[in-house]
Chains A and B, each alone.
Chain A
Amino acid sequence: MKKVYDTADEALDGLLHDGMLIAAGGFGLCGIPELLIDALVKSGVKDLTVASNNAGVDGFGLGKLLETKQIKKMMSSYVGENAEFMRQYLSGELELEFNPQGTLAERMRAGGAGIPGFYTKTGYGTQIGEGKEVKVFRGEHYILEEGIFADLSIVKAWKADDTGNLVFRKTARNFNPPAAMCGKVCVVEVEEIVPRGSLDPDTIHLPGIYVHRIIQGEHEKRIEQRTVRKREEA
């Protein structure tokens, strides 16, 4: 069982086909699989549906796959930071399915957990609930949402061992575990691959059973909104 690959291109080899559904981890530009996105651009695979909370920014993250028009449809909760996205969306070139953020996360988690649908209060009585089954539990209205079963998951973690056990760092965890869970195949990029035995089994955030291929690489980790406070004068 060899999970470690040398490059992102090799890690995606044989997994890509036009029209596929990809679940991507990350929130804004935090914890996004930047190396695998670059490899997807290089591969030329097209007509992609991408389930990802956001759509990157112009020239970085999923913004790169939008520039090359490889994405047909996005499933997201917030897409405000990307001018090329808006241009394609308003011109009708790009489909967009808005999902409330928690519904998107739970749809991924559910897909990975073998749960094809679940009921949630979120979105009941709004546009999001239109056309969806409504059921009353304990006097309250819930709508039916479906699990996401992706062809491929692309995920960024901090560390992995060679068996695929993952550790994330701070808020870069975000959508990565649920995105990893919902794919038939999950490819992960990390900052460091460590020898087995060197991660404390009690501190592993996602067990390697969800992880099929791993690469290590350098990450730019761009900051979207740099906010600081002044140091008080001593």
Chain B
Amino acid sequence: MPWDRNQMAARAAEELEDGMYVNLGIGIPTLVANYVGDKDITLQSENGMLGMGPFPYEGEEDPDLINAGKQTITELNRTAYFDSAMSFGMIRGGKIAAAILGAMEVAENGDLANWMIPGKLVKGMGGAMDLVAGVEKVVVVMDHTNKAGETKLLKACTLPLTGTGVVDRIITDLGVFDVVEGGLKIVETAPDVTEDEIRSKTEATIV
């Protein structure tokens, strides 16, 4: 049985260790916050906040308090605010321990594509290029194949890159993979998913 969205998020949460400062992307990565349990994790929002809290109760929304997805959020007793230059200073400077983000394609050398599809509407990279270039550990959470059933784990990305050689670990609905010398290494498989199935759905070299 492949993992569903919540199971993928729960598995990604296992990557986080007590005391880490972490940046979560939009989509499944956002769900990771629901599975950190008792671990002391500080979430960074790149628009200028450390210590991001949950959504506000109805009627308590503050237009001056949003996350990088422009959603209204709340602060915690550990929260600190800062400007965008300092925010990306801590990102680029390697102070953020982990970033968990979605992707369109990942290559066996750790190249990542997640910001544009040529010929389609391009909205921009936002902070993704800075995050993958600066953060210590980059974890991609994505479906193993796209809607057409084609693999998203490739020998080389076909889409414009967000970063080169930046991905450390990939969590898909089929398993967990590390980017290592020579290709991807299977770290773990989802329940009842075989290595043969993974190989048949993966273009990247599995070592």
Is the CB–CB distance between B55 and A228 below 8 Å? yes
Residues in A48-63 with C-beta less than 8 Å from chain B: 53
Is the CB–CB distance between B125 and A174 below 8 Å? no
CB pairs A–B below 8 angstroms (6 shown):
A122-B130, A127-B160, A128-B125, A168-B81, A171-B64, A171-B67
Residues in B95-151 with C-beta less than 8 Å from chain A: 111, 121-130, 133-134
Residues in A181-234 with C-beta less than 8 Å from chain B: 205, 221-231
Is the CB–CB distance between B87 and A105 below 8 Å? yes
With an 8 A cutoff between CB atoms, is B185 at the interface? Answer: no
CA distance A127 to B92 in the complex (A): 19
Mask of A92-108 contacts with B, CB within 8 angstroms, 1/0 = 00000010111111101
CA distance A64 to B62 in the complex (A): 23
B129: chain A residues at CB < 8 Å are: 100, 102-103, 122-123, 126, 128
With an 8 A cutoff between CB atoms, is A150 at the interface? Answer: no
Is the CB–CB distance between B61 and A223 below 8 Å? yes
Residues in A67-93 with C-beta less than 8 Å from chain B: 76-81, 86
Band of interface residues on B: 35 or more
Query: Which of A4-12, A13-21, A25-33, A39-47 participates in binding chain B?
Result: A25-33
In the A-B complex, list the 7 residue pairs whose CB atoms are closest, starting with the nearest: A102-B88, A80-B123, A102-B130, A125-B164, A78-B124, A105-B84, A221-B63
Band of interface residues on A: 35 or more
B128: chain A residues at CB < 8 Å are: 100
Show the binding face of A for B, using Cβ within 8 Å. 27-31, 53, 76-81, 86, 98, 100-106, 108-109, 120-128, 158, 168-178, 205, 221-231
With an 8 A cutoff between CB atoms, is B24 at the interface? Answer: no
Is the CB–CB distance between A122 and B64 below 8 Å? no
Main secondary structure of the interface of B (DSSP, over half): loop
Determine the residue in chain B with the shortest Cβ distance to A101.
Answer: B127
Determine the residue in chain A with the shortest Cβ distance to B47.
Answer: A27
Is the CB–CB distance between A228 and B61 below 8 Å? yes
CA distance A132 to B66 in the complex (A): 34
Tell which of B47, B83, B164 touches A178, judged by Cβ atoms closer than 8 Å. Answer: B83
Determine the residue in chain A with the shortest Cβ distance to B111.
Answer: A125
With an 8 A cutoff between CB atoms, is B163 at the interface? Answer: yes
B126: chain A residues at CB < 8 Å are: 77-78, 101
CA distance A128 to B164 in the complex (A): 12
Determine the residue in chain B with the shortest Cβ distance to A191.
Answer: B64
Determine the residue in chain B with the shortest Cβ distance to A112.
Answer: B85
B45: chain A residues at CB < 8 Å are: 171
With an 8 A cutoff between CB atoms, is B49 at the interface? Answer: yes
CA distance A177 to B123 in the complex (A): 25
CA distance A123 to B88 in the complex (A): 14
